[in-house]
Amino acid sequence: MLVANHISWLDIVAIHAFCPQARFVSKADVRHWPLLSRLTEAADSLYLERERKRDALRVVHQMAEALTAGDTVAVFPEGTTGEGHALLPFHANLLQASIATGTPVQPVALRYRDRHDEVSKAVAYVGDTTLVQSLWWVACAEGLQVHLQFLAPQASAQADRRALAERLRAAIDEALQTPPTT
């Protein structure tokens, strides 16, 4: 299982470039977004209906089946996108699939840099930003670079999911505080 921080719709493309077999857990709304629906469908994504509280349990079961079958499942435990400067709290529910199957969790620190090696503001898909605006900003961003740092895998068997979420968040946060290597 891959666990990464979440900045943009572009995260799926970035992770998929390094791990093309990854299946993503995505909010169900994405099924109806132009372009992104094709990306998530091509990645054989699992969809979570956020407005239905019990849907997380259904998705955890689907994830566990996928992990047991040898699939790589990728999740963004922040549950939404952030600006890329600081992590949001991690939700632990979806980590239950890795715990139930004993699948190690691979934390991934994801960041985007601009031509000045600063955190790129062009990529952040937050607030009232529309998909069209985001696509335009990404297309116009000069020198945009993505950095994926694969951190030490974390054992999940018999772990407490909240403690596991905190360990993963701490590992990703620490990596994001360190300048990326090129």
The number of helix segments (H) and strand segments (E) in the chain equals 6, 6
**Domain annotation covers residue 144:** yes
How high is the pLDDT of residue 182? Answer: 58
Per-10-residue mean pLDDT, the chain, length 182: 94 92 87 72 82 88 96 93 85 95 97 90 85 86 93 94 96 89 64
Residues comprising the chain, all counted: 182
Domain annotation covers residue 62: yes
Domains held by the chain: number: 1
Q: Do the domain assignments include residue 182?
A: no
Range of the domain at 43: 2-177
Those residues with Cβ within 8 angstroms of residue 142's Cβ, 6 or more apart along the chain or in another chain: 114, 115
Is the whole model's pTM more than 0.85, yes or no?
Answer: yes
Q: What is the pLDDT of residue 41?
A: 73
Which of 127, 119, 90 has the alpha carbon at shortest distance from 107?
Answer: 90
Res 171: pLDDT: 97
Distance CA 124, CA 134 (A): 8
